[in-house]
Amino acid sequence: MPCARFKAQVERSARDVTAEVKQGRHLRHGDCGHSARPSAARSDLERACQIEERGSVSCAVVDFNSGATLLLITYEDYRDVRLVYAPEKQLGYFGGDEMNFRFPRYVSDISILRAYQGTDGNHDEYDASHVPVKPDHYLHVTMAGVKDGDFTLVAGNPGTRTGIVRAIQPNTTWQGHPVDD
């Protein structure tokens, strides 16, 4: 089923542009004022990338670490995206409480989308003659099990986590309560 207005983006490259944006080297004429400089530099970098790359590509300057690092990321855009799997209604409502977002919640909350392209490689909107994209890299799914060195994803309980704490924190708190020595 075609998903109008959906777009799939595949990252093709990333370049650190932190220094360029912070220095404002790519200023447009007439820009003045300190706060406009990073914004103008970001826009200019994105525009230059878009012109250089052309075609079905988009470019964006993306903040990482609250703006400490800025990357110019180039994406390949696929505009023919289709819904290829959605669970039957009864699987989606299993348990009878679709608005319960606390564990345990046993429902099938999954949909699978697939990107399509023309046989000539074009990335235009939906066309019945388009074929599924065959990317160079993709996640291999197997029922044969895993071997040493295989990439794995692990689904977890959607509850509270305390696994990510600062080194000093375990000495002072446990589940939000002070710890006595």
Q: 84 — phi, psi (to 5°)?
A: -110, -15
pLDDT digits (tens, 9 = 90+) for 25-51: 544 444 454 445 678 889 999 999 988
pLDDT digits (tens, 9 = 90+) for 71-104: 999 999 999 999 999 888 777 666 666 566 665 6
Give the C-alpha separation, 60 to 14, whole Å.
10
Give the C-alpha separation, 67 to 44, whole Å.
18
